[in-house]
């Protein structure tokens, strides 16, 4: 029995490591996508799109490992909560990676065009999203609910910047109709990054459930 528990702990440790690696890949992708967007770097944008396959592959690998762990090790209730939390983390990280790809695609479409002043707001949103990813995964690894709540609270920054950016873009479209298409793409991109914060908040809620065995809605 002790040997079986040791095997389970070892496998769980591998899964935790994989979650950390996956989060690092997504965080890096967001950084590259933002740089591509800011610098009109189409090559870097293509690199983000191509690298998304690695994120997707990691998610599938973690899912397969989780299924095998459940089937062979018969985890108890507390273990099951962590296993399902791992699944929730990876699903939401994969979706966060999709937002990096969207940002990269927009960078390609807007290549060679002068960015709006609202670029600073978008950059802050992305960087805050990166910080949320780091903080939420750290909270998971440390099993720290207070840290999870603090990570989720950062979403207020993303929401606030999105609201301000949206107002600025709407005013711009009214004043300069010739910029309508470009402004709409910028607005749509901001909306995608706003949802990035929601995905990381989902991770934080899962961490709280894993530790406290109760559902808590954050950032209502």
Q: What are phi and psi of 217, to 5 degrees?
A: -85, 125
Residues 6+ apart with CB under 8 A from 148: 136, 139, 140, 203, 204, 205, 207, 208
**pLDDT tens-digit profile, the chain (220 residues):** 556 677 788 889 999 999 999 999 999 999 999 999 888 888 999 999 999 999 999 999 999 999 888 888 777 777 889 999 999 999 999 999 999 999 998 887 776 665 566 788 999 999 999 999 999 999 999 999 999 999 999 999 999 999 999 998 888 888 888 878 888 888 889 999 999 999 999 999 999 999 998 888 887 6
Architecture of domain 2-212: Up-down Bundle (1.20)
* Statement: the pTM of the whole predicted model exceeds 0.85: yes
**190-210 as b/e, with b when 16 or more CB fall inside 10 Å?**
bebbbbbbbbbbbbbbbbbbb
């Amino acid at each position: 029995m002790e040997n079986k528990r040791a095997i389970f702990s070892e496998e769980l440790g591998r899964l935790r490591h994989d979650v950390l690696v996956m989060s690092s890949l997504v965080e890096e992708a967001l950084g590259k996508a933002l740089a591509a967007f800011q610098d009109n770097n189409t090559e870097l944008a293509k690199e983000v799109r191509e690298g998304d396959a690695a994120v997707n592959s990691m998610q599938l690998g973690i899912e397969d490992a989780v299924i095998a762990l459940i089937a062979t090790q018969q985890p108890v209730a507390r273990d099951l909560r962590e296993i399902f939390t791992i699944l929730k983390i990876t699903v939401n990280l994969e979706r966060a990676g999709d937002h990096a790809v969207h940002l990269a695609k927009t960078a390609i479409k807007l290549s060679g065009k002068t960015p709006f002043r609202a670029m600073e707001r978008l950059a802050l949103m992305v960087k805050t999203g990166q910080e949320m990813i780091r903080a939420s995964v750290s909270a998971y690894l440390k099993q720290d609910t207070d840290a999870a709540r603090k990570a989720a609270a950062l979403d207020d920054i993303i929401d606030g910047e999105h609201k301000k950016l949206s107002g600025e873009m709407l005013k711009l479209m009214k004043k300069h109709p010739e910029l309508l298409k470009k402004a709409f793409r910028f607005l749509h991109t901001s909306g995608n990054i706003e949802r990035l914060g929601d995905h990381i908040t989902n991770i934080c809620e899962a961490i709280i459930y894993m530790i406290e065995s109760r559902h808590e809605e954050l950032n209502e």
